[in-house]
């Protein structure tokens, strides 16, 4: 399959007056048409920064230190603002968590959706409004015509989330970057919306990157999963194999924690030591039960234990062969 | 309808505020040292004469009775007689108010017309020579005394360059004042197509307005810039950008949302300018309320001072009333 | 389940590699902070000079500060008179460097009084706001009183206060102190409203402290940063108001060396070309106010590490 979007060795840092802090250390990720990748990891692992980097939304104090983001044969990192403006919202669309904050509080919903539509389509205001009604209907908002004249502060959080998603669907984008789609939505609605996104990806040959902390969402709606820890993808695998046998100790811990929460045994879940990621060697080593002296010496490179499966762990082979328990 | 209810509620609050303000002014006057009848009787009056004046002024009554009488007079628009001009204070004020309003009005308009675009520009273009210059100017202007800047401007433009008239009031002595309609010379001159009066009064307005704008505009500039910076960094502008809206549209989103703080600071500016105008009017012999206030302080003209102070508070309240109403129009979230 | 996955600590996040933020405080940290900020350093130097001149300014000038010099009317700047002389034959340089004595004293004393009253009232109104009974009325009453004081344009109110009590340093101090109380009150109240919601206040309450004790021993010390950071700019603002009052003859009486009244003495000469009469006192005034503003900005940044990024 040809890749739609190829992120290659992306490095991002954040500058303060006390120096530079690396945030993404060489992220590589490919998206194929029809593919949905779930990105999981704790807050601060760099998921949102990754998504925003793709759209060229990172301004100072963020800086891109290296890598490529390839889309339609061009490197998006070399695009200027005007070129990016043409891509954003049309080819690559984004949804965000905290949807209410992301809507303009002083203009009506209809006006905002129409502006998004008219940014890339040469249609009349009336046609844009009609399309807005259609989009709101698609994401399951009742009485869409009535909502057009409303303001964001008059809507619930879940309603705002659906409005944001409606805006992301306005242009039949090839790539959907879906950041925390289920936060604030009840189960029925989030299922409805994820079904909708899955349908679009399948029917249009689009691709989606779904950032979520909800492993259930990833398990049901994604083909592949990428686990991020401290600015690196530590493991990437097809969803089925990943959930059967995670190879990275951090992945294993995520799954155990999720299972513990499901079994209402949160109290017995491992009290994770609140240790910061290491700067040298494997960044997870300080929290890892299986860490050896070698883990602290160098950053483990990606190993490919099976086709389409990547892991960054010195002990992955031992884990895979069941020699150690994760 | 919500708007009408809001106005009604806000207007109902006004008399309460006024009552409290009048109370302050009332007690302020009691701060006067010495015997208040002294000013009316002179130092060598007989005891009987002093008693008579006290009775006339109502000073023999208990304090709350005095206050009620004072309020009664104020409501009737009777602020007493000015000792200096021998006119009712209300008459004096009515003659001088348009001069001050004209001065402040132009200062507010130009401060907003220059300050807001400059603030927006420096919020968008964070680097460059203009940004640096504006930053230095903002820092400097806040530290400069307006009355001193006025004098320097007079030295440069009047004495040295001879471009503008000196500080001799609102219009050339040779030019007759335009027919009074609003009392603001430039406006009246325009309305009556009296070009000589217009150019003369405009040239007299130039330096005092320049002074006020130069010194007080940074207030608008800085607030417009920080409001605009906040809004440009806010999530909804970032999202507008992510959705592919062009930059101009992103800036319009940001500016629209920066309007409430800009409106507020415009109100604060008008409030500040009324105080600043006192000094600038004195320098330019402007003959407005500010100069009247200074003259009444220097000449111990207490009735006049009391009237001006009370009216300045009324002005402040009206300004903030207008600000609140403008807020209501701009922001649909206010219920 | 997401809760268990999450490790909700910023320390475990990906940006933990940043150098730890040094705690505010410590002479060494302060010196390094100042060293990196030329504007702050300039401000401190200006403040230092004004304090020095307030102490010895009247004695170090080449000429007496309140006495006319025979024959030297309106002399332009020269070696003999670096800033020239004014219409009353007084040496402007000697008077400019003597002026901080009165200007700074008025500003310092009035700001100090306003700070003390403003902070006390701010703690009371902030800590007891929203409570029931008497405390709430006290809190509301304080705020409404502050509203009313601030309903008057600042300069007009200052003029009126001095006008009704008569000119003179003491009355100027009283007027400025009174005017600045609502300012400190509001700043303190804002900080108190935040501090009182913090967990350690609840802890202090559980430990059996009385409400008053909590207000003044637990909340107050933690709410002091914003009002303290605003002392310096308030001093600058008070110098500006003092000079304005003196300029119109409602402040410090002539011939006491004071920048505003010196500008007033020079004002008529500006129209006839003797620019030095008003120029130099005004520059001294502007630089001083700028200095206090810069120190205020620097302190705000120093005391609030989140702004230091």
Nearest by CB to A103, from B236, B241, B247: name it: B236
pLDDT on residue C196: 82
For residue C303, count other CB atoms closer than 10 A to its CB. 15
What does the radius of gyration of chain C's CA atoms come to, in whole angstroms? 24
Nearest by CB to A104, from B242, B247, B257: name it: B257
Q: What is the mean pLDDT of chain B?
A: 87
Are B244 and A116 in contact (CB < 8 Å)?
Answer: yes
Provide the CB-side half-sphere exposure for C214 (13 A, CA). Answer: 21
B245 → chain A, closest CA residue: A119
Question: Quick check: B46 contacting C, CB < 8 Å?
Answer: no
Distance (Å, rounded) from C-alpha C20 to C-alpha A149?
48
- Taking only residues 250 to 269 of chain C, the set having a beta carbon closer than 8 angstroms to any beta carbon of chain B reads 250, 260, 263, 266-267
How close A86 comes to chain B (CA, Å)? 6
Are C4 and A22 in contact (CB < 8 Å)?
Answer: no
Question: Quick check: C19 contacting A, CB < 8 Å?
Answer: yes
Local structure of A38: helix, strand or coil: strand
Are A116 and B249 in contact (CB < 8 Å)?
Answer: no
Are B151 and C151 in contact (CB < 8 Å)?
Answer: no
pLDDT of C14 higher than 60: no
Are C163 and B296 in contact (CB < 8 Å)?
Answer: yes
pLDDT on residue B1: 59
Is the distance from CB of C218 to CB of C198 less than 8 angstroms?
Answer: no
Question: Quick check: A57 contacting B, CB < 8 Å?
Answer: yes
Question: Quick check: B221 contacting C, CB < 8 Å?
Answer: no
Find the Cα–Cα–Cα–Cα dihedral C260, C263, C265, C266, rounded to 10°: 180
Question: Quick check: B154 contacting C, CB < 8 Å?
Answer: yes
How close A42 comes to chain C (CA, Å)? 5
Q: Which of C158, C178, C173 is nearest to C105 (CA)?
A: C173
Q: Is the dihedral of CA C287, C290, C295, C296 positive or negative?
A: positive
Report chain A residues whose CB lies below 8 A from the CB of B242.
52, 55, 57, 88-89, 94, 96
A88 → chain B, closest CA residue: B244
Q: Which of C2, C253, C5, C223 is nearest to C123 (CA)?
A: C223
Least confident of A244-253, A304-313, C7-16, C218-227: C7-16
> Would you give the DSSP letter of residue A39?
E
Are B239 and A94 in contact (CB < 8 Å)?
Answer: yes
Are C14 and A14 in contact (CB < 8 Å)?
Answer: no
Q: Which residues of A204-241 are buried (b: 16+ CB within 10 A; e: fewer)?
A: eebbbbbbbbbbebbbebbbbbbbbbbbbbbbbbbbee
B305 → chain C, closest CA residue: C160
Report chain A residues whose CB lies below 8 A from the CB of B236.
101-105
pLDDT of C152 higher than 90: no
ipTM over 0.90: no
Give B224-281 pLDDT, tens digit per residue. 999 999 999 899 999 999 999 999 999 999 999 999 899 989 999 999 898 888 999 9
**Mean pLDDT value across residues C208-213:** 83
Distance (Å, rounded) from C-alpha A193 to C-alpha A199?
10
**Mean pLDDT value across residues C138-163:** 85
Question: Quick check: A275 contacting C, CB < 8 Å?
Answer: yes
- Taking only residues 4 to 33 of chain A, the set having a beta carbon closer than 8 angstroms to any beta carbon of chain C reads 14, 16-19, 21-23
pLDDT on residue B39: 65
How close A41 comes to chain B (CA, Å)? 23
Distance (Å, rounded) from C-alpha B122 to C-alpha B131?
5
pLDDT on residue C1: 33
Give A127-166 pLDDT, tens digit per residue. 999 999 999 998 888 898 999 999 999 988 888 988 999 9
Are A88 and B243 in contact (CB < 8 Å)?
Answer: yes
Least confident of A51-55, B331-335, C136-140: B331-335
Distance (Å, rounded) from C-alpha B143 to C-alpha C294?
10
How close C218 comes to chain B (CA, Å)? 33
User: Going by C-beta distance under 8 Å and a sequence separation of 6 or more, which residues neighbour residue C224?
Assistant: C119, C188, C191
pLDDT on residue B227: 93
Instruction: Dig out the tokens for A320 from the structure.
Output: 């895979």
Are A17 and C6 in contact (CB < 8 Å)?
Answer: no
Report chain A residues whose CB lies below 8 A from the CB of C4.
257-258, 260-261, 266, 269
Report chain A residues whose CB lies below 8 A from the CB of C3.
261, 266
- Taking only residues 215 to 234 of chain A, the set having a beta carbon closer than 8 angstroms to any beta carbon of chain B reads none
Nearest by CB to A151, from B234, B238, B332: name it: B332
B146 → chain C, closest CA residue: C244
Question: Quick check: C11 contacting A, CB < 8 Å?
Answer: yes
Q: Which of C42, C153, A42 is nearest to B314 (CA)?
A: C153
Q: What is the mean pLDDT of chain C?
A: 83
Report chain C residues whose CB lies below 8 A from the CB of B160.
273
Report chain C residues whose CB lies below 8 A from the CB of A43.
6, 8, 13
- Taking only residues 190 to 219 of chain C, the set having a beta carbon closer than 8 angstroms to any beta carbon of chain A reads none
Are C5 and A257 in contact (CB < 8 Å)?
Answer: yes
How close C143 comes to chain A (CA, Å)? 30
Question: Quick check: C157 contacting B, CB < 8 Å?
Answer: yes
pLDDT on residue B196: 87
Are B253 and A102 in contact (CB < 8 Å)?
Answer: no
Question: Quick check: B283 contacting C, CB < 8 Å?
Answer: yes
Local structure of B234: helix, strand or coil: coil
Distance (Å, rounded) from C-alpha A163 to C-alpha C139?
43
Pairwise pLDDT comparison (B297 vs B211), residue with the higher score: B211
Total count of residues recorded for chain C: 309
pLDDT on residue A207: 92
- Taking only residues 29 to 58 of chain C, the set having a beta carbon closer than 8 angstroms to any beta carbon of chain B reads none
pLDDT on residue B36: 61
How close B239 comes to chain A (CA, Å)? 6
Give B60-78 pLDDT, tens digit per residue. 778 788 888 888 888 888 8
Residues linked to residue B304 through DSSP beta bridges, in sequence order: none
Q: Is the dihedral of CA C197, C201, C203, C207 positive or negative?
A: negative
pLDDT of C274 higher than 80: yes
**Mean pLDDT value across residues B51-66:** 78
Are B244 and A85 in contact (CB < 8 Å)?
Answer: yes
pLDDT of A269 higher than 70: no
Distance (Å, rounded) from C-alpha B63 to C-alpha B71?
12
- Taking only residues 117 to 136 of chain A, the set having a beta carbon closer than 8 angstroms to any beta carbon of chain C reads none
pLDDT of B334 higher than 60: yes
Element (H, E) at A15: strand A5-16
Question: Quick check: C165 contacting B, CB < 8 Å?
Answer: yes
pLDDT band at C17 (very low <50, low <70, confident <90, very high): very low
Q: In a mutagenesis test of the A interface, which of B237, B238, B239 is the best target, namely the one with the most A β-carbons within 10 Å?
A: B239
């Amino acid at each position: 399959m040809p890749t739609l979007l190829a992120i290659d060795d992306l490095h991002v840092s954040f500058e303060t007056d006390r120096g530079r802090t690396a945030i993404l250390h060489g992220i590589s990720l490919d998206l194929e048409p029809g593919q949905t990748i779930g990105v999981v990891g704790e807050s601060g692992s760099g998921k949102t920064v990754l998504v925003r980097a793709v759209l060229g939304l990172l301004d100072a104090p963020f800086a891109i230190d290296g890598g490529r983001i390839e889309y339609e044969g061009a490197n998006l990192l070399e695009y200027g603002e005007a070129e990016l403006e043409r891509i954003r919202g049309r080819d690559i669309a984004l949804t965000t968590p905290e949807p209410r904050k992301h809507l303009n509080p002083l203009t009506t919903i209809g006006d905002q959706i129409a502006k998004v539509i008219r940014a890339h389509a040469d249609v009349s205001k009336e046609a844009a409004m009609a399309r807005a009604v259609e989009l709101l209907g698609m994401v399951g908002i009742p009485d869409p015509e009535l909502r057009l004249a409303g303001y964001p502060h008059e809507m619930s959080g879940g309603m705002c989330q659906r409005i944001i998603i409606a805006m992301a669907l306005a242009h039949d984008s090839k790539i959907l970057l879906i950041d925390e789609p289920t936060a604030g939505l009840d189960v029925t609605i989030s299922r409805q919306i994820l079904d909708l996104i899955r349908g679009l990806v399948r029917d249009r040959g689009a691709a989606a990157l779904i950032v979520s902390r909800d492993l259930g969402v990833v398990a049901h709606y994604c083909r592949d999963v990428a686990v991020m820890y401290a600015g690196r993808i530590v493991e990437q695998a097809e969803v089925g194999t990943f959930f059967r046998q995670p190879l990275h100790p951090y992945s294993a811990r995520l799954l155990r924690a999720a299972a513990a929460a499901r079994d209402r045994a949160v109290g017995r879940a491992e009290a994770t030591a609140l240790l910061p990621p290491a700067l040298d060697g494997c960044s997870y080593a300080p929290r890892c039960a299986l860490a050896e002296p070698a883990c602290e010496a160098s950053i483990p490179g990606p190993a490919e234990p099976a086709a389409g499966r990547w892991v960054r762990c010195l002990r992955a082979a031992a884990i895979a062969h069941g020699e150690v328990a994760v | 309808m919500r708007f009408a209810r809001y106005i009604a509620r806000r207007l109902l609050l006004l008399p309460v505020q006024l009552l409290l303000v009048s109370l302050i002014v009332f007690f302020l006057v009691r701060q006067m040292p010495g015997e208040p009848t002294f000013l009316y009787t002179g130092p060598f009056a007989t005891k009987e004469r002093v008693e008579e004046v006290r009775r006339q002024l109502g000073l023999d009554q208990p304090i709350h009775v005095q206050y009620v009488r004072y309020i009664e007079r104020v409501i009737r628009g009777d602020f007493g007689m000015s000792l200096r001009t021998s006119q009712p204070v209300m008459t004096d004020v009515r003659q001088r108010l348009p001069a001050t309003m004209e001065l402040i009005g132009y200062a507010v308009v130009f401060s907003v017309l220059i300050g807001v675009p400059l603030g927006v520009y420096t919020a968008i273009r964070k680097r460059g020579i203009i940004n640096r210059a504006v930053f230095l100017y903002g820092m400097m202007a806040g530290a400069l005394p307006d009355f001193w800047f006025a004098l320097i401007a007079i030295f440069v433009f009047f004495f040295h360059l001879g471009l503008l008239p000196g500080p001799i009031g609102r219009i050339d002595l040779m030019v007759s004042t335009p027919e009074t309609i609003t009392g603001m010379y430039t406006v009246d001159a325009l309305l009556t197509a009296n070009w000589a009066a217009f150019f003369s009064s405009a040239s007299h307005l130039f330096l005092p307005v320049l002074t006020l704008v130069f010194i007080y505009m940074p207030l608008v500039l800085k607030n417009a810039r920080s409001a605009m910076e906040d809004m440009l960094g806010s999530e909804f502008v970032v999202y507008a950008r992510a959705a592919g809206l062009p930059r101009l549209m992103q800036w319009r989103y940001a500016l629209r949302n920066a309007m409430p703080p800009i409106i507020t600071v415009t109100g604060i500016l008008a409030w500040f300018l009324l105080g600043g105008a006192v000094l600038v009017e004195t320098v330019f012999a402007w003959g407005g309320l500010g100069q009247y206030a200074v003259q009444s302080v220097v000449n111990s003209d207490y009735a006049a001072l009391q009237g001006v102070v009370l009216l300045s508070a009324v002005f402040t309240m009206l300004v903030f009333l207008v600000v609140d109403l403008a807020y209501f129009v701009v922001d649909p979230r206010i219920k | 389940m997401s809760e268990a996955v999450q490790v909700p600590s910023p320390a475990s996040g990906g940006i933990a590699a940043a150098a730890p933020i040094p705690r505010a405080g410590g002479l060494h940290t302060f010196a390094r902070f100042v060293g990196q900020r030329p504007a702050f350093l300039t401000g401190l130097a200006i403040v230092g000079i004004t304090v020095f001149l307030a102490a010895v300014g009247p004695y170090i000038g080449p000429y007496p500060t309140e006495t006319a010099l025979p024959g030297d009317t309106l002399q332009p700047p020269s070696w003999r008179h670096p800033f020239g002389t004014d219409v009353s034959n007084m040496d402007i340089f000697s008077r400019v460097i003597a002026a901080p004595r009165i200007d700074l004293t008025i500003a310092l004393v009035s700001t100090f009084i306003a700070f003390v009253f403003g902070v006390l009232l701010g703690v009371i109104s902030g800590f007891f706001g929203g409570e029931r009974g008497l405390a709430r009325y006290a809190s509301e009453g304080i705020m409404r009183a502050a509203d009313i004081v601030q309903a008057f344009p600042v300069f007009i109110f200052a003029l009126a206060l001095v006008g009704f009590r008569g000119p003179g340093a003491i009355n100027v101090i009283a007027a400025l102190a009174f005017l600045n109380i609502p300012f400190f009150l509001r700043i303190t109240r804002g900080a108190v409203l935040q501090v009182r919601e913090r967990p350690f206040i609840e802890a202090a309450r559980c430990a059996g402290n009385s409400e008053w004790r909590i207000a003044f021993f637990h909340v107050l010390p933690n709410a002091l940063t914003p009002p303290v950071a605003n002392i310096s700019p308030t001093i600058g603002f008070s110098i500006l108001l003092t000079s304005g009052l003196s300029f119109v003859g409602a402040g410090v009486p002539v011939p006491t060396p004071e920048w505003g009244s010196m500008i007033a003495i020079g004002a008529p000469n500006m129209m006839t070309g003797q620019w030095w009469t008003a120029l130099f006192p005004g520059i001294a005034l502007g630089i001083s106010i700028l200095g206090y503003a810069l120190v205020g900005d620097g302190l705000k940044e120093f005391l609030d590490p989140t702004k230091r990024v």
